[in-house]
Structure 1
């Protein structure tokens, strides 16, 4: 396999290409990690708020308002927080952030190992090209 702009048997060019791909995979992982963390934190906060609103209301009656309108308001607020929790948790699961992050981390790790092997001369041109090609095939999404 010969990448565009990489002359045959030029380990330096291949090393640059591998390093660039490694940086791309790292950026991909960082973005997924941020999004995954935000959704998880949002889910925890809204779940806690829902529990707090409904628990306080159940223990001492409605905090805002009195009678039936106060209970309705407490139920609506608790339901909205519960809905937000469900949506954020479902988005996280449906978009498979954890799985994609795991795959991205594997890709980045393999690229770092290949980069180190190239820098230390532990891979021949043929071995390095084959391994890089395997990484490109195994992890297309992180390297887009």
Structure 2
């Protein structure tokens, strides 16, 4: 993080989260935009997607409002609670699985890379049936241009 980011984060951390009480909290989009502000404080794109919903924010607020009234909560309080949650083993596992799933979804399904790709399926806990269907398809269609996500969708039909 650069000095500018640290200064930006320190200034943001002191600000009250007025969007919680001024009536502007109307949708997940509003929450996502508020979470975007936290990137200067080490919140990454995955975190923005994960915490950037009303449901996720509501869960955090339940914990936060036990210690402080809603109208007094600052972005610093939010950052602290997000960082605490990010340190948990469950969050780390979920983030890892999500990232592997996204990597696999975007990867082109290819018989020549199957031996490496199947390891990702294994990490995600895919069943032998699913892996067998994918492998059979790849053997029968070695010239396909589908991503694994597209292939899995096709195999479900």
* Normalised-by-shorter TM-score class: under 0.3
State the structure with bigger RCO (CA 8 A, min sep 6), 1 or 2: 1
Q: What TM-score results when the alignment is normalised by the length of structure 1?
A: 0.26
TM-score (norm 2): 0.24
Structure index of larger Rg: 1
